[in-house]
Amino acid sequence: MRRLALALMLPAIAKAGEMNFPPAQSAIAHEITNLHTLLMWVILVIFLLVFGVMFYAILKHRKSLGHAAKPFHENTTVEILWTVIPALILIAMAWPAARVVIAQKDTRDSEITIKATGYQWFWGYKYLDHGVDFKSRLTTNRNQIEEYKGKGSPKGEHYLLEVDEPLVVPVGKKIRILTTSNDVIHSWAMPAFGVKQDAIPGFIRDTWFKAENTGTFRGQCSELCGKDHGFMPVVVKVVTDKEFQDWVGKKQAEAKAASDDPNKKWTKDELIARGRSVYEGNCFACHKADGKGSGPYPSLVGSKIVLGPIADHLGMVLKGKNAMPAWSALSDTEIAAVVTYERNSFGNTVGDALFPADVKAARK
């Protein structure tokens, strides 16, 4: 009821910032905003003129006022005028728009290139010039989202627009974003920078931005990409050049420390422990914490694939099937770990283990 009352008195409470584009943070975004404002003025003038005439007729040329119809039905002059004048207005509008299109498409001379890969359902970023590589996932707790029984926990300010690792870029540098995808089409969108670029499997597209201010900016995947389409935000943290260098240094050191040594000899128990975190990071959303799945997502408990030959299980993870995406983007160790974990958890007791070398061999 409160929501209903709120909805009806809405115009008074809506904040101005929610009725237009988010504040522009790049030259292109400024140009787009100005273009939109110009268009709105043109439209407003046309609207008032045309509807002024129509409502004058509606008010004055009524039968109830005794107005008699004048049966004219052709006038070549006005018909030519109202074809030519709109065409001229359109040309006047097309000119500035074309300039912005050309600027927006010019990705040359970028200073930093970052590849953004869409996954179901998170983003992977790779700094091609710095060797930094990470995944960026939604951090909003599922309890806040799922309210089916009316008991969701309170939502924060950045509900659904918060991630564990944002994209970090320096202010004032031309950043080129290459987009591609691992599974279906996603779209990398950042309204504050005037950027929206589809990420298409098998293809690489590019776009660019140059942020004018430091701060954190938020967008969302903008192409329907399956069940968690609403849950893959894009978050960009713009920092000073110095902070960016520090951050890159830290990430590079972290990556070195955290990488699974390819020569390490794993035991089954180590794989299961590592597999649990891989599972929680990747498989959890569909198959759930208890492995029982939900809706169209099958249960792993007693599943034919999980209990069957280990090669088939591995094949399913690598290649996917129907709603199950291919997980080939995970490392050999991660895949080995998660397969071993699934075969020995949730009540499954197959007892065997998969090793990174097996995954490496299977990829060929």
Partner 1 sequence: MTTANDALHAPSHDHAHEEHHVSFVQRWFYATNHKDIGTLYLWFAFSMFITGGIMALCIRAELFQPGLQFWQPDFFNQLTTLHGVIMVFGAIMPAFTGLANWMLPLMIGAPDMAFARMNNWSFWLLPPAAALLMISFFVPGGAAAGGWTLYPPLSIQAGMGMDLAIFAIHLLGLSSIMGSINIVTTVLNIRAPGMTMLKMPLFGWTMLITAYLLIAVAPVLAGAVTMLLTDRHFDTHFFKAVGGGDPVLFQHIFWFFGHPEVYIMALPAFGIVSQIIPTFARKPLFGYVSMVYATCSIAILSFMVWGHHMFAVGMPASTQLFFMFLTMLIAVPTGVKVFNWIATMWQGSMTFETPMLFSIGFVCLFTVGGFSGLILAIAPVDTQMQDTYYVVAHFHYVLVAGALFSLFGATYYWLPKWTGYMYHEGRGQFHFWWSMIWFNVTFFPMHFLGLAGMPRRIPDYNMQFTDFNAMATVGAFCFGLGQIFFLFNVIHTIRGGVGKAPASPWEGANTLEWEVASPAPHHTWETPPSLEIVEKGLKAQGLLGDHHE
User: Which residues in the 209-248 window bind partner 1 by CB under 8 A?
Assistant: 219-231
Per CB under 8 A, does 194 bind partner 1?
yes
Can you point out the beta strands (E) in 171-249? 175-181, 186-190, 195-199, 205-209, 215-220, 233-239
Q: How far is CA 168 from CA 23, 139, 217, 226, in A?
A: 19, 17, 11, 27
Find residue 117's DSSP bridge partners.
Answer: 124, 180
Q: How far is the CB of 40 from partner 1 (least distance, A)?
A: 8
Complex with partner 1: residue 114 or 336, whichever CB lies closer: 114
Interhelix angle 356-363/310-319, nearest 10 degrees: 60
Contact 318, 335 (CB under 8 A): yes
Per CB under 8 A, does 90 bind partner 1?
yes
Which residues 6+ apart lie within 8 Å of 27 measured at CB? 103, 210, 212
Which letter does DSSP use for residue 346 in this model? T
Per CB under 8 A, does 296 bind partner 1?
yes
Backbone angles phi, psi at 73, to 5 degrees: -150, 20
Among 102, 108, 263, 264, binds partner 1 (CB under 8 A): 102
Complex with partner 1: residue 93 or 350, whichever CB lies closer: 93
Please tell me the distance from the alpha carbon of residue 168 to that of residue 246, in angstroms, as a whole number: 11
Complex with partner 1: residue 158 or 174, whichever CB lies closer: 158
Token pair belonging to 310: 């280990």
Per CB under 8 A, does 108 bind partner 1?
no
Which of the residues 3 through 42 are near partner 1 (CB under 8 A)? Answer: 3-4, 6-8, 10, 13-14, 17-22, 28, 31-32, 35-36, 39-40
Which of the residues 123 through 162 are near partner 1 (CB under 8 A)? Answer: 144-148, 150, 152, 155, 157-161
Per CB under 8 A, does 363 bind partner 1?
no
Please tell me the distance from the alpha carbon of residue 59 to that of residue 79, in angstroms, as a whole number: 24
Complex with partner 1: residue 180 or 344, whichever CB lies closer: 180
Per CB under 8 A, does 48 bind partner 1?
no
Per CB under 8 A, does 191 bind partner 1?
yes
Which residues 6+ apart lie within 8 Å of 238 measured at CB? 25, 169, 170, 171, 211, 213, 214, 215, 216, 217
Q: How far is the CB of 299 from partner 1 (least distance, A)?
A: 13
Residues in the chain: 364
Residues that contact partner 1, how many (by CB under 8 A): 110
Which of the residues 50 through 69 are near partner 1 (CB under 8 A)? Answer: 50-51, 53-54, 57-58, 61-64, 67-69
Q: How far is the CB of 348 from partner 1 (least distance, A)?
A: 23
Complex with partner 1: residue 100 or 350, whichever CB lies closer: 100
Which stretch in 92-100, 129-137, 163-171, 331-339 sits in contact with partner 1 by CB under 8 A? 92-100
Which residues 6+ apart lie within 8 Å of 48 measured at CB? none
